[in-house]
Amino acid sequence: MPTDLMSVLAVLDCHEPGSLLELRETRWLDAKAAPYRLGEDPLAAEELARDVAALANGGGGVIVIGIATRTDDDGKVLDRIVGVGPEAVDAGQVRELLHARITPAPHGVRIGWSGDGNSDDGRVVFIHVPEQAPGTLFVVAGPTGQPGARRADTVAVPVRDNDGTRWLTHTGIQALLSAGIRASGVSTAQALAALAGEAVYEAVPDGGELRTGQGGSEEASHRAGQGAGQEVGQRVDQGAGQRVGQGLWEYEREMREAHMELAGAGLGQPAGPIRADGPAVLQDFHHGRGDEPGWVLCLVAGQPPVAVAAPVWQAVVDAGRLAPDQEPLAAVGCPLPSEGAAGPWVIGADARSVDLGGGTWGAGRLTRAEPGAGGWRWEPLPRFGLQQSRSAGNWTAGRPPALRLRALVNLPWGDAGTLEITKPRRVQLERQLPYGALAGAVTMLSRRRGAEPRTAVWERTPSGNAARSAGYTCTIPVPGGSPALRAAAMLALPTTVNSTVVACAEVLVEDPAAWARALGSGPNTRLDFDEVQTVLLDAWETAAELLPGLVGDPAGLRWAAPPTTELRMTCERPGADGVLPALGTLVDLAPLGVGYDGGRSCMAVTVTASPVMGRRERRSLMRQALVRMALEFGYVGADVGLG
């Protein structure tokens, strides 16, 4: 049973909401039997905004819709799944409401479905509110007691309290404000004056004009004339009257200190007010030497300030622009100091790469392509995990094999709905498969056992080929026609259920007994672990580099989320007793050392990394991934020398 937020999310992503039953509602878990009746009940919108803001204030959490609760002496318990129909929740409407009613709008809120896609009875909706930037307080309009009536001049602070949501008292709000003023180092009068100036600015429509002496300040007039949404490097010259740190008084002192520290890099006068964006606080500056590209001065909690040349900063923002339901910086994060960097840190316009972190995509690197090769590209820094995607079970219908060795690559390209599989690309793949790495893997398994297989023939699968999918299989039969080994390669473009391009390559041991009979009494059909590594390496290379050619040139596509590869070993055909055999019966796991769960029939690991890499790099990364997998599954003696 899941015990924390991450394990609950993993269960939901694996479409097993039933595993949440008997959990108690907590500070981070809220269950609703029925959807919010947005558009029908004015109170429903207020309730949704309150619930999401409370989770954001409490360090993050998840709302699960479609699970009824019961109450006992210790609180509410998730009792039964009542299910939610697809028409009951409009994700776009929910996101618009959160942006309109919560200040500031929480970053990275994810709305997803979990359960059996073929039945509404077993499906639930979840709203995941991730942990937000430290020190951010989320407020909503204060309740008026009248459904649908809101007052813009009041605020309320919702907080989670065990299994319920309540309002912070006026005493608590006063204590928070006082603590913030004390931490800012300015007087109460100065803080209130700055906030009053902000209020005047916000009251002026975009593009409006507010002159000194007409109810506002000179600062407000400069800011009111600044168009919303202008890109870095395209801002109107507003240097006159701007000051370092202007716009967010609580960060003004920190921004001034950073500007003084980095002034030698060429930072000139401010080109706009300070602003918050994702995990960062930013301010644009002119270049101190004439008409050279300007700078963005970036402050992120816990790391040194950094000055980034405006063209490079624009590339950072563009890298995350296709992230769904997120601001770009909230997705890709902000520039990180180089390891061991000390003193002022500057990324000039001639930089070739930038390390990024702090976003929901995890650690990554933005690299400038060679001239004429398509500008900048973001790729994740390699890391490993155990969470599997909803695509892990794709293409597993039909008679299960005894052993499946699979590499499944998730390619979340932005605008993937416009991709297509053309006839020329399909024909090209059909010519490549017989000579590719996957065909070689099947040949290797036979030759190492003294058999010389006939030339592999690849055929289209009847269920895996359509306008937006491709599937091919190659079967090595034994005398009598029974299949012994099989290789398969599949690719599917996004659907209404899955927005990601998925490529899969695998080798299946269909019938070990039939294979052994065909080989004679000598060879053993149990796979050595080095054979498993070779098969997984060839399958990974096929899924990551050969199959994506069906959509054209992947180098010109940008990510909407980090790409991942799932490496899996599974025993899938039950024995006569109806029990799945342990992996150790079909694979020699001795190189992993002593294991503590010999009955396990499945082991898997997920690699977050660029799909395209050299063979040697892929082999090294695969070995690291298999070691991580082995350690997580109880083989504590595994190391990179395995195999």
Residue 226 confidence (pLDDT) above 80: no
Strand bridging mode 376-380 / 383-385 = unpaired
Q: How far is CA 336 from CA 208, 298, 312, 328, in A?
A: 38, 10, 14, 16
509 Cβ contact partners less than 8 Å away, ≥ 6 residues apart = 401, 402, 403, 484, 485, 515, 525, 527, 586
Q: Do the domain assignments include residue 530?
A: yes
| Residue 253 DSSP SS3 | helix
Structure confidence at residue 240 (pLDDT)? 43
Provide the CATH number for the domain around residue 136.
3.30.950
Answer whether 108's CB lies under 8 Å from 94's CB: no
Beta-bridge mates of residue 368: 376
Q: Do the domain assignments include residue 146?
A: yes
Residue 255 confidence (pLDDT) above 60: yes
Last residue of a domain, one of 149, 168, 187: 168
Q: What is the largest CA-CA distance in the chain?
A: 99
Residue 216 confidence (pLDDT) above 60: no
Between the two ends of the chain, the Cα-to-Cα distance in Å is 34
The helix (H) or strand (E) run that includes residue 158 is strand 158-161
The tokens for 406 are 């699979």
Residue 279 confidence (pLDDT) above 50: yes
Which position has the higher pLDDT, 161 or 343? 161
Answer whether 50's CB lies under 8 Å from 43's CB: no
Q: Do the domain assignments include residue 154?
A: yes
Residue 321 confidence (pLDDT) above 60: yes
210 Cβ contact partners less than 8 Å away, ≥ 6 residues apart = 200, 201, 204, 216, 220, 221, 224
The tokens for 39 are 């558009």
| Residue 496 DSSP SS3 | coil
Mean pLDDT to the nearest integer, 280-309: 87
503 Cβ contact partners less than 8 Å away, ≥ 6 residues apart = 408, 409, 411, 490, 491, 543, 544, 547, 548
Q: Do the domain assignments include residue 314?
A: no
HSE, CB side, 13 Å, CA atoms: give it for residue 549. Answer: 16
Mean pLDDT to the nearest integer, 436-444: 90
Residue type, 513: A
pTM confidence score: 0.66
Answer whether 326's CB lies under 8 Å from 296's CB: no
Q: Do the domain assignments include residue 477?
A: yes
Last residue of a domain, one of 168, 183, 201: 168
* 229: confidence class by pLDDT, cuts 50, 70, 90: very low
Mean pLDDT to the nearest integer, 365-387: 84
Structure confidence at residue 238 (pLDDT)? 38
Closest alpha carbon to 75 in 29, 34, 26: 26
Cα separation of 161 and 142, whole Å?
Answer: 19
The helix (H) or strand (E) run that includes residue 256 is helix 249-262
Residue 151's domain comprises: 5-168
The tokens for 62 are 């998840």
Cα angle: 17, vertex 569, 632; to 5 degrees = 70
Q: How many domains does the chain have?
A: 2
* Residue matched to tokens 């416009």: 418
Cα separation of 116 and 365, whole Å?
Answer: 37
Structure confidence at residue 184 (pLDDT)? 64
E-strand ranges in 275-375 read 275-277, 280-287, 295-300, 306-309, 334-335, 345-347, 353-357, 364-368
Last residue of a domain, one of 116, 136, 168: 168
Residue 144 confidence (pLDDT) above 80: no
Mean pLDDT to the nearest integer, 443-459: 79
Residue type, 244: V
Structure confidence at residue 317 (pLDDT)? 92
HEC profile for 616-637? Answer: HHHHHHHHHHHHHHHHHCCCCC
| Residue 307 DSSP SS3 | strand
Helices 249-262/188-203 angle, 10° precision: 100
Which position has the higher pLDDT, 238 or 296? 296
| Alpha helical stretches, state H, 480-528 | 512-519
Residue type, 432: Q
Closest alpha carbon to 409 in 117, 612, 626: 612
Instruction: In the chain, count H helices and then E strands.
Output: 14, 26
Mean pLDDT to the nearest integer, 81-101: 85
Structure confidence at residue 227 (pLDDT)? 30
Cα separation of 35 and 124, whole Å?
Answer: 10
Closest alpha carbon to 12 in 110, 119, 147, 118: 110
Cα separation of 604 and 606, whole Å?
Answer: 7
Cα separation of 325 and 148, whole Å?
Answer: 26
Q: Do the domain assignments include residue 232?
A: no
Which of 250-254, 270-274, 368-372 shows the lowest mean pLDDT across its residues?
368-372
Beta-bridge mates of residue 507: 405, 487
The tokens for 134 are 């430290």
**What percent of the chain clears pLDDT 70, i.e. is strictly above it?**
82
Answer whether 32's CB lies under 8 Å from 63's CB: yes
| Residue 8 DSSP SS3 | helix
The tokens for 233 are 């490097």
Mean pLDDT to the nearest integer, 54-71: 93
Q: Do the domain assignments include residue 238?
A: no
The tokens for 497 are 């259920």
Cα separation of 158 and 272, whole Å?
Answer: 33
| Residue 216 DSSP SS3 | strand
| Residue 397 DSSP SS3 | coil
Answer whether 62's CB lies under 8 Å from 30's CB: yes
How many Cβ atoms sit within 10 Å of the Cβ of residue 521?
A: 6
Beta-bridge mates of residue 129: 61
Closest alpha carbon to 20 in 124, 131, 163: 124
Structure confidence at residue 319 (pLDDT)? 93
Answer whether 109's CB lies under 8 Å from 325's CB: yes
Per-chain mean pLDDT for the chain = 82
Residue type, 206: D
How many Cβ atoms sit within 10 Å of the Cβ of residue 11?
A: 18
Residue 108 confidence (pLDDT) above 70: yes
Answer whether 230's CB lies under 8 Å from 263's CB: no
DSSP 97-124: HHHHHSBSPPSS-EEEEES-TT-GGG-E
Structure confidence at residue 103 (pLDDT)? 85
Q: Do the domain assignments include residue 643?
A: no
Structure confidence at residue 587 (pLDDT)? 92
